[in-house]
Amino acid sequence: MTTTATDVTLLITRVGVGGALFAHGAQKLFGWFGGGGPEGTGAYFESIGIKPGKHSALASGIAEAGGGAALVLGLGTPAAAAAVAGNMGVASTQHIPNGFFNSDGGFEFPVLLGVLATGLAIGGPGKISVDHLFGDVFTKPWMRAIAVISIAPAIATIVTLQRRASAAAGDPVVADGNDEETYS
């Protein structure tokens, strides 16, 4: 593939992934596109054991809307992609009980968005981006490496903190003997 074709491919991927994520984040933050806003999304999060719900909705909305908008622009691409990928990793854990397919509420869609975001963290935004316009000062190879390395620990930390908050709130959390908590 030529450099031009690669840059156009990266642009299309950034706009598609970033646009979808911006829309999902705007649902959580502002109630746009039929979303519940912080209150409605927070109440839903609480109902599925994510506590504190409103704070989690705001954090998720910021990662999705902010990260999505930054991906569309190609601005701070490694950090934006890591925020998105980490958030999608957490979202995936909530969908695992529903199986794989998105049509059943499964983890297919958040995993796909997370994988694409990780690819953008590694590959960078391409030449048709704000990052490139600024001389790629925010996309140095070491920045990409740190972004990718940070994704898995961020997911583990967020999921652990959410489970601890739910347990502290008195939700039925059962230890399975392997020091892993599961919801009953």
| 18-36 residue pLDDT tens | 999 999 999 999 999 999 9
DSSP character string of 35-73: --HHHHHHHHHHHTT-SSHHHHHHHHHHHHHHHHHHHHH
pLDDT for residue 180 is more than 70: no
Q: Would you mind telling me the total number of residues written for the chain in this entry?
A: 184
Amino acid identity for residue 71 in this structure: L
| H or E element in which residue 79 lies | helix 77-95
pLDDT for residue 181 is more than 50: no
Indicate the DSSP class of residue 135.
T
> Per mean pLDDT, which range of 45-49, 124-128, 162-166 is the poorest?
162-166
**CA–CA dist 45, 22 (Å, integer):** 19
**CA–CA dist 11, 128 (Å, integer):** 6
Q: Which residues contact 128 (CB under 8 A, 6 or more apart)?
A: 7, 8, 10, 11, 74
Q: What average pLDDT does the structure give for the chain?
A: 87
pLDDT confidence of residue 63: 95
Give the count of beta carbons closer than 10 Å to the beta carbon of residue 114: 24
On whether the CB atoms of residues 91 and 98 are closer than 8 A, the answer is: no
On whether the CB atoms of residues 47 and 108 are closer than 8 A, the answer is: no
pLDDT for residue 172 is more than 60: no
